[in-house]
Amino acid sequence: MTDILTSYVLGAWAEPSAEILTENDSAVRTVHDPATGAELAKVSSAGLNFPTIVDYARNTGGPALRELTFHQRGVMLKKLGAYLNERRDRYHKLSLTTGATARDGLIDIDGGISTLFSYSSVARRQMPNSTTYLDGGVERLSKGQTFVGQHICTSRRGVSVQINAFNFPVWGMLEKFGPMFIAGQPVIVKPATSGSHLTHAVVRDIIASGLLPEGALQLICGSIGDLLDHLTEQDTVAFTGSAATAHSLAAHPCVQKRGTRFFAEADSLNFSLLGPDVEPGTEEFDLYVKELVTEMTAKSGQKCTAIRRALVPEKLLNAVADAVSEALAEVIVGSPHDETTEMGPLVSTKQADDVRAAIAKITSAGAEVVCGYNPSRPKGANELSAAFVEPTLLKAHAEIAAVHEVEAFGPVATLLPYSSLADAIETVTRGRGSLVGSLISHDPVVVRDVLVSTAPWHGRILVLDRDNARESTGHGAPLPTLVHGGPGRAGGGEELGGIRSVLHYMQRTAVQASPDMLTAITGTWVPEATRHTEGTHPFAKDLSELRIGDTIVGGPRKVTLEDIDCFAEFTGDTFYAHTDEDAAAANPFFPGRVAHGYLVVSFAAGLFVKPEPGPVLANYGLENLRFITPVSPGDELTVTLTAKQITPRETDAYGEVRWDALVTNQDAAVVATYDVLTLVEKDTRKSEA
């Protein structure tokens, strides 16, 4: 008896209602192994109470997540990634039953888990150890400097619903889960029915790990029922799948009337262009052929990023067609359960039927079959089963509209000859917006021209040549640190992209207040806010004692001509502005010889330092350094150093302190401003004990 997949809702694994299933056959769907036809699982969400699932996410998951800082969420994701990594062999076995080969499984499973590590790192390295993210700097809004502004990002109070495509049951979930979780969003995952048994296995482990706060993740296997009816303005739907479903979901009243955010990654007719500078026998020619064959066959072409439109110079059409056909003939197509298989079936016989129908649509519009499935030919005797489609290369004139409109979501690409770059650019834009494009050329003029002209229609563009080929991750691989998504037909979504995708799920708000109030709100000292200069030197305080606004003022110290000479000789920096009075005076910026900027920074360090061993462990850099007023011999420097931001590290006995450094002269003119970055012990009493 085939298992019925449970859903994880309201803190428990829930079976669909037997009563409804008995009365209504259509409420249950069956998942098959497309290679063997074996029945794998039955899927149904019949009987789930969707409003309570949404409430549970909002009222249990949301508050628990928002209690945690970005760093705490990041540490959890890292632990979760390690936990899933230890169990990956089981997912790989299951992945073979989705039609994916072992290599396809790497993209889905290992690629998916790696996004968790990547987002853990974004949270811990690029975000503060708090629950509010500061977006950009402080804006001065008034002359008297009592009124300032700052953009802050906070966690929305709703739920993020993922509706995912069948092609990546693990990656599709985790690449969205990582940023949503860091953003403080409880997540409801609805995987595509095909492949949902694999998503289910991973979620089962995630829940069993006990690493996530309760309510942070729920799983719905089967239809989402009336779930959208319960979403409002604080909620988000992130959809991946067909343009048709994207349009119908975008038209739902929750999006149209109640302000639910809706992001879509939909069909995409991605292009790859072979530059006119490339000749057969060159490295770029071989790279183009290899990349196209990889994109057609990896995951049997069921990748939203796969190359669908291959643009080649007219004169190379036959050479490329021959080389690609030859390479495709070498690809071993078969069951993923056989280790030698290089390309498996499509996810289901229905999907294979859809792909064959899409090929027929493109060929009946005028495209020719170079190799592979030919709709006008009787079925090949060597076809393995109805779920398989041979890798199919078509060629067509770019004027044929179907080539730019019909996405055959399988091992299919069309060669499109172009006569000039202007012609090629026009052809690319007929895709009306795609996730990714690639340019294979070693000519910077060609690359720049095509890239700048086609970028507005794309979320990502790979430029591939002999210099980066060995290390390139390829046309089809979205990376956690780079944007994945595309305008227009591709859905207009923007996933991944490092911190960008986390902020995507948060609310940005411009806050206007006084400097002291803004400091209190954000936990980050704002210039013009109160400084606390009394008491212990701030370098003598560990993180348990240090407060935002704690300040040390050092100086004044006079800068002499001898100091400047000595610094020039000692460092070897004998630039004329420091050593030649006449030449310096002729410079539009200087009154005569001036002190080195680095001398100013060095003297400032000497003025604020506390030499004895203490909680400050190291200075690990400066940021935002600007030299503003030149320092002439005889000028007197004063430095004001203020604790600006304190970031204790979750997993270390120390944290980071960012100090605001302000160097002024005897006339109170600002000489230099910068941030000093230090590592400071959290609690010296603990480390001494």
CB contact at 8 A, 637 and 665: yes
CB contact at 8 A, 8 and 14: yes
Closest CA to 7 of 262, 225, 175, 184: 225
| Binding track over 73-102 against ligand NAP, x by CB under 6 A | ------------------------------
115 sits near ligand NAP (criterion: CB under 6 A) = no
Q: Which is nearer to ligand NAP, 172 or 184 (CB)?
A: 172
CA dist., res. 204 & res. 219, Å (int): 9
Minimum distance between the CB of residue 240 and ligand NAP, rounded to whole angstroms?
Answer: 4
Which residue of 111, 128, 241, 549 would you call a contact of ligand NAP, by CB under 6 A?
A: 241
387 sits near ligand NAP (criterion: CB under 6 A) = no
Part of the chain binding ligand NAP (CB under 6 A), chosen from 112-120, 165-173, 359-367, 567-575: 165-173
Part of the chain binding ligand NAP (CB under 6 A), chosen from 261-269, 459-467, 472-480, 575-583: 261-269
Minimum distance between the CB of residue 347 and ligand NAP, rounded to whole angstroms?
Answer: 8
Collect all residues with Cβ–Cβ distance below 8 Å to 155 and sequence separation of at least 6.
Answer: 62, 65, 66, 131, 183, 184, 185, 506, 507
Sheet holding 636-648, edge to edge: 551-558, 636-648, 654-664, 670-681, 616-627
Part of the chain binding ligand NAP (CB under 6 A), chosen from 7-15, 117-125, 263-271, 544-552: 263-271
Minimum distance between the CB of residue 99 and ligand NAP, rounded to whole angstroms?
Answer: 13
Q: Which is nearer to ligand NAP, 412 or 577 (CB)?
A: 412
| Binding track over 540-579 against ligand NAP, x by CB under 6 A | ----------------------------------------
Closest CA to 34 of 292, 222, 302, 224: 302
Minimum distance between the CB of residue 228 and ligand NAP, rounded to whole angstroms?
Answer: 8
CB contact at 8 A, 128 and 70: yes
Which two tokens mark 582? 């006449």
Q: Which residue is nearest to ligand NAP (CB)?
A: 241
Minimum distance between the CB of residue 252 and ligand NAP, rounded to whole angstroms?
Answer: 9
CA dist., res. 554 & res. 572, Å (int): 27
- Count of H helices and E strands in the chain? 24, 27
Q: What is the DSSP string of 199-256?
A: HHHHHHHHHHHT-SPTTSEEE--S--TTGGGG--TT-EEEEES-HHHHHHHHTSHHHH
| Binding track over 409-428 against ligand NAP, x by CB under 6 A | x-------------------
Closest CA to 331 of 410, 411, 440: 411
Which two tokens mark 560? 């002499």
164 sits near ligand NAP (criterion: CB under 6 A) = yes
Max Cα–Cα distance, the chain, nearest Å: 97
482 sits near ligand NAP (criterion: CB under 6 A) = no
166 sits near ligand NAP (criterion: CB under 6 A) = yes
CA dist., res. 289 & res. 30, Å (int): 38
Peptide bond preceding 375 in cis form (omega within 30 of 0): no
- The residue with tokens 């969205």 is 176
108 sits near ligand NAP (criterion: CB under 6 A) = no
Part of the chain binding ligand NAP (CB under 6 A), chosen from 94-102, 188-196, 206-214, 585-593: 188-196
240 sits near ligand NAP (criterion: CB under 6 A) = yes
Minimum distance between the CB of residue 409 and ligand NAP, rounded to whole angstroms?
Answer: 3
193 sits near ligand NAP (criterion: CB under 6 A) = yes
Q: Which is nearer to ligand NAP, 409 or 674 (CB)?
A: 409
Q: Which is nearer to ligand NAP, 245 or 530 (CB)?
A: 245
Which residue of 95, 129, 167, 297 would you call a contact of ligand NAP, by CB under 6 A?
A: 167
Minimum distance between the CB of residue 337 and ligand NAP, rounded to whole angstroms?
Answer: 23
Part of the chain binding ligand NAP (CB under 6 A), chosen from 110-118, 206-214, 237-245, 555-563: 237-245
Q: What is the DSSP string of 508-539?
A: EEEEEE-HHHHHHHHSS--TTS--B-SSS-GG
Which residue of 138, 165, 323, 406 would you call a contact of ligand NAP, by CB under 6 A?
A: 165
Q: Is 210 exposed, middle or buried (0-12, 13-18, 19+ CB in 10 A)?
A: exposed
CA dist., res. 398 & res. 381, Å (int): 33
Part of the chain binding ligand NAP (CB under 6 A), chosen from 52-60, 80-88, 241-249, 653-661: 241-249
266 sits near ligand NAP (criterion: CB under 6 A) = yes
265 sits near ligand NAP (criterion: CB under 6 A) = yes
Q: What is the DSSP string of 346-368?
A: -SSHHHHHHHHHHHHHHHHTT-E
304 sits near ligand NAP (criterion: CB under 6 A) = yes
Minimum distance between the CB of residue 268 and ligand NAP, rounded to whole angstroms?
Answer: 5
Which residue of 407, 528, 635, 681 would you call a contact of ligand NAP, by CB under 6 A?
A: 407
Which residue of 30, 126, 146, 248 would you call a contact of ligand NAP, by CB under 6 A?
A: 248
Q: Which is nearer to ligand NAP, 486 or 555 (CB)?
A: 486
291 sits near ligand NAP (criterion: CB under 6 A) = no
CA dist., res. 8 & res. 82, Å (int): 22
Q: For strands 3-4 and 39-43, give the pairing.
A: parallel
Q: How many residues does the chain have?
A: 689
CA dist., res. 451 & res. 437, Å (int): 9
Q: Which is nearer to ligand NAP, 337 or 432 (CB)?
A: 432
591 in the Ramachandran plot: left (φ > 0), alpha (ψ -120 to 50) or beta? alpha
The site that binds ligand NAP (CB under 6 A) totals a number of residues, namely 22
Which residue of 121, 242, 632, 673 would you call a contact of ligand NAP, by CB under 6 A?
A: 242
Minimum distance between the CB of residue 513 and ligand NAP, rounded to whole angstroms?
Answer: 42
Which residue of 20, 224, 482, 583 would you call a contact of ligand NAP, by CB under 6 A?
A: 224
192 sits near ligand NAP (criterion: CB under 6 A) = yes
Catalytic residues: 265, 304
Which two tokens mark 259? 């302000």
Q: For strands 7-9 and 133-140, give the pairing.
A: unpaired
465 sits near ligand NAP (criterion: CB under 6 A) = no
Catalog residues that contact ligand NAP under the rule CB under 6 A.
163-167, 190, 192-193, 224, 240-242, 245, 248-249, 265-268, 304, 407, 409
